[in-house]
Amino acid sequence: VMTQVVVAVDGSRAAEQAVTWAANEAVLRGAALRLVHASLWERYEAGTEHDANDSSVRARDAARQMLTDQADAARAAHPGLHVTTETLAQETVPALLEAGREAALLVMGIRGLGAMKGLMLGSISQRVAAHALFPVVIVP
Applying CB under 5 A, the residues found at the interface with Mg ion are 112, 114
* Side-chain-side CA neighbours of residue 128 (13 Å): 31
Told to check if 23 binds ligand ATP by CB under 6 A, we report no
Smallest CA-to-CA distance from 124 within 104, 86, 97 is with 97
CB 18 to ligand ATP: min, Å? 5
Collapsed DSSP state (helix, strand, coil) of residue 138: strand
90 and 39 in contact (C-beta within 8 Å)? no
DSSP letter at 30?
T
9, 33, 57, 83: which one binds ligand ATP (CB under 6 A): 9
Instruction: Output 51 or 69, the one with its CB closest to ligand ATP.
Output: 69
* Residue 12 binds: one of Mg ion, ligand ATP, none (C-beta under 5 to 8 A by kind): ligand ATP
DSSP 68-120: HHHHHHHHHHSTT--EEEEEE-S-HHHHHHHHHHTSSEEEEESS-TT--TT--
Residues 52-111 that bind ligand ATP (CB under 6 A): 92, 108-109, 111
- Closest residue by beta carbon to ligand ATP: 122
Told to check if 8 binds ligand ATP by CB under 6 A, we report yes
Instruction: Output 47 or 116, the one with its CB closest to ligand ATP.
Output: 116
Which residues contact ligand ATP (rule: CB under 6 A)?
8-10, 12, 14-15, 18, 36-39, 92, 108-109, 111-115, 122-125
